[in-house]
Amino acid sequence: MARPGTLTSERFLSLIVLALGVFAPAARAASCYKYVSQKNYPACIQLEPGLVLHWRTTNADDDANTPLIEFVADADGYLNWLAIGVSEAGFKGVDYNVAIQSGATWIMGDFFTLDGVTLIDDQDQDAALVTQPNFDNDNHTLAVWTRPMDSCDLEDVAIFANSERSIVWTYGYNTDWSNDKLVFGTFKKGIVTGVKLFNTATPIPGSPQTQINLTMPAYPVPTSNFSVTCVNLPLPADAPYHVISYQGFNTTNNVHHIAGYVCGAGVVPMFGGIGQPYPCAGIQPTLPNLLPPGCETLNYVWSPGAGRFTAPAEAGFAIGAGSAAYMVLQVHYWNLQGAVGKTDSSGLTLTYTPTLRNNTLGVLTVGSNDIKVPTNTDLYSPRPNFCPGSCTGRRVLQPVTLVSNFYMMNSLGASILVRHIRDGKAMQPLGRINYYDFTRPSFQGVFPDSKQLRANDSLISVCSYSSNNITKTPTGGNVFTYGLAPWQEMCFNFVTFYPVSAMPGLDYCVSDFKNLTTCATRTQLAAQAAANATDAMMVQNGTKLAVGSVNVSYYRSDKCQLYDQSSMAPVRKPNTGAAVASIVLVPTVLLTIGYIIYSKYSKQEELEALLKEARERGLDPEDVLLARS
Inter-residue contact 154 to 572 (CB < 8 Å): no
Inter-residue contact 68 to 60 (CB < 8 Å): yes
Inter-residue contact 407 to 433 (CB < 8 Å): yes
Amino acid identity of 117?
Answer: V
pLDDT tens by residue, 256-272: 999 999 999 999 998 88
Pick the range with the lowest mean pLDDT from 13-17, 121-125, 147-151, 264-268. Answer: 13-17
pLDDT category of residue 14 using cuts at 50, 70 and 90: very low
Same domain, yes or no, for 287 and 424? yes
E strand residue ranges, 114-172: 119-121, 128-129, 140-148, 165-172
Inter-residue contact 481 to 203 (CB < 8 Å): no
Inter-residue contact 450 to 460 (CB < 8 Å): no
CA distance 209 to 336: 40
Same domain, yes or no, for 224 and 362? yes
Looking at residue 289, its pLDDT comes to 59
Same domain, yes or no, for 349 and 490? yes
Looking at residue 617, its pLDDT comes to 52
Looking at residue 103, its pLDDT comes to 74
Per DSSP, the three-state class of 433 is: strand
Same domain, yes or no, for 14 and 161? yes
Percent residues over pLDDT 90 in the chain = 60
pLDDT tens by residue, 307-359: 999 999 999 999 999 999 999 999 999 999 999 999 999 999 999 999 999 99
CA distance 599 to 110: 20
Is 28 inside any structural domain? yes
Closest CA to 414 of 85, 95, 114, 112: 114
Higher pLDDT, 183 or 27: 183
Percent residues over pLDDT 70 in the chain = 80
Task: Tell how far CA 66 is from the center of its chain.
Answer: 23
Inter-residue contact 193 to 305 (CB < 8 Å): yes
Q: Is the pLDDT of residue 21 over 80?
A: no
H/E segment holding residue 40 = none
Q: Is the pLDDT of residue 614 over 90?
A: no
Looking at residue 555, its pLDDT comes to 77
pLDDT category of residue 563 using cuts at 50, 70 and 90: low
Same domain, yes or no, for 288 and 146? no
Looking at residue 595, its pLDDT comes to 30
Same domain, yes or no, for 328 and 452? yes
Average pLDDT, integer, range 126-131: 83
Pairing of strands 431-433, 413-422: antiparallel
pLDDT tens by residue, 218-253: 999 999 999 999 999 999 999 999 999 999 999 999
C-alpha R_g of the chain: 27
pLDDT tens by residue, 368-399: 999 999 999 999 998 889 999 999 999 999 99
Average pLDDT of the chain, as a whole number: 83
Is 500 inside any structural domain? yes
Inter-residue contact 52 to 29 (CB < 8 Å): no
The last residue of one of the domains, among 541, 564, 587, is 564
Inter-residue contact 361 to 498 (CB < 8 Å): yes
Is 248 inside any structural domain? yes
Same domain, yes or no, for 546 and 576? no
Ramachandran angles phi, psi of 304, nearest 5°: -55, 135
Average pLDDT, integer, range 456-484: 93
Q: Is the pLDDT of residue 485 over 80?
A: yes
Looking at residue 373, its pLDDT comes to 95
Total of domains in the chain: 2
First to last CA, the chain: 30
CA distance 262 to 297: 5
CATH number at residue 477: 2.60.120.310
Inter-residue contact 544 to 519 (CB < 8 Å): yes
Same domain, yes or no, for 104 and 173? yes
Average pLDDT, integer, range 545-554: 79
Inter-residue contact 552 to 564 (CB < 8 Å): no
| Domain containing residue 45 | 9-201+571-628
H/E segment holding residue 201 = none
Is 4 inside any structural domain? no
pLDDT tens by residue, 103-117: 777 889 999 998 888
pLDDT category of residue 613 using cuts at 50, 70 and 90: low
pLDDT category of residue 475 using cuts at 50, 70 and 90: confident
Same domain, yes or no, for 289 and 182? no
Q: Is the pLDDT of residue 20 over 80?
A: no
CA distance 197 to 167: 9
In this structure, the chain runs to a length of: 629
H/E segment holding residue 139 = none
